[in-house]
Amino acid sequence: MSENVITIQNLEKTYKTESETLTILKNVNLEIEKGKKIVVTGESGSGKSTFLNIIGGLDSVTSGKVIAGPYEISALDEEELTEYRSKYLGLIFQFHYLLKDFTALENVYLPAYMAGMNKHEAQDRAEKLLEDIGLSKRKNHLPSELSGGERQRVAVARSLVNDPQLILADEPTGNLDPANATMIGDLLFSMADKYQKTLILVTHDMNLASKGDIRYTIKEGCLVTLEEK
């Protein structure tokens, strides 16, 4: 029996104003098996990032359940959410969010060190990941000394340092030129394969979207299957 990394049951997300109730997501049901690479596309404002933020515990549901491994995300308090994001998730965003006063190596190992791993082990793991992404020789450089593509490669390595079950990537190539976008897309999928990680990726990039095992779109609040390999 396949192990589900994410189970979503009857998810609904609405926003209320004084004049109206806006439904962003409705009746979303989804099971994602371990190791699958899921891509979500859709028009701007369709709810893609909201969907990803709910899975990441960065936004709350209006109704329904989101279960990630042992965590029922919709029922966690702030301390439990911090643990969930630290232990279960790796996060990659459109902007790298590297700490500007820390080297590439420090940016990669700090999340593991802050989560309780001893510094030597965290550094060793970060060194290995930087080697995997081809940046060993740049490990002591600050973000300002790296190119845009190199900074996003460091962000990919950082997302893996805590050995998460699930990688969430929100438009990870959206801030890059076409050549770097292709390189980061290839790297992200190859690293997910190498480390046997489940990936949920939101993107406008159809070239990147084509790399997924299953592609969905969000249309009128509903999650619709477009392609399954």
* Tens-digit pLDDT profile for residues 102-134: 999 999 999 988 888 899 999 999 999 999 999
Task: Report pTM.
Answer: 0.89
* 214-219/71-72 β-pairing: unpaired
Measured in residues, the chain has a length of: 229
Q: What is the pLDDT of residues 47-84, one digit of tens each?
A: 888 999 999 998 889 999 999 988 999 889 888 998 88
List Cβ neighbours of 220 (8 Å cut-off, separation of 6 or more).
Answer: none
The answer to whether residue 227 scores a pLDDT higher than 80 is no
The answer to whether residue 209 scores a pLDDT higher than 90 is no
Q: What is the mean pLDDT of residues 158-165?
A: 92
Spatial distance between the Cα atoms of 161 and 224, rounded to a whole number of angstroms: 32
- Please, which pLDDT band fits residue 229 given cuts at 50, 70 and 90? low
Amino acid 208: pLDDT: 85
* 4-16/63-68 β-pairing: antiparallel
* 37-41/214-219 β-pairing: parallel
- Please, which pLDDT band fits residue 19 given cuts at 50, 70 and 90? confident
Amino acid 1: pLDDT: 42
Q: What is the mean pLDDT of residues 184-199?
A: 91
Amino acid 117: pLDDT: 87
The answer to whether residue 191 scores a pLDDT higher than 50 is yes
- Please, which pLDDT band fits residue 202 given cuts at 50, 70 and 90? very high
Give CA separation, 33 vs 8, 108, 172, 188, 192, in Å: 12, 27, 22, 18, 14
Share of the chain above pLDDT 70, in %: 98
Amino acid 16: pLDDT: 85
Amino acid at 67: I
Q: What is the 3-state secondary structure (H, E, C) of the chain?
A: CCCEEEEEEEEEEEEECCCCEEEEEEEEEEEEECCCEEEEECCCCCCHHHHHHHHCCCCCCCEEEEEECCEEHHHCCHHHHHHHHHHCEEEECCCCCCCCCCCHHHHHHHHHHHCCCCHHHHHHHHHHHHHHCCCHHHCCCCHHHCCHHHHHHHHHHHHHCCCCCEEEEECCCCCCCHHHHHHHHHHHHHHHHHCCCEEEEECCCHHHHCCCCEEEEEECCEEEEEEEC
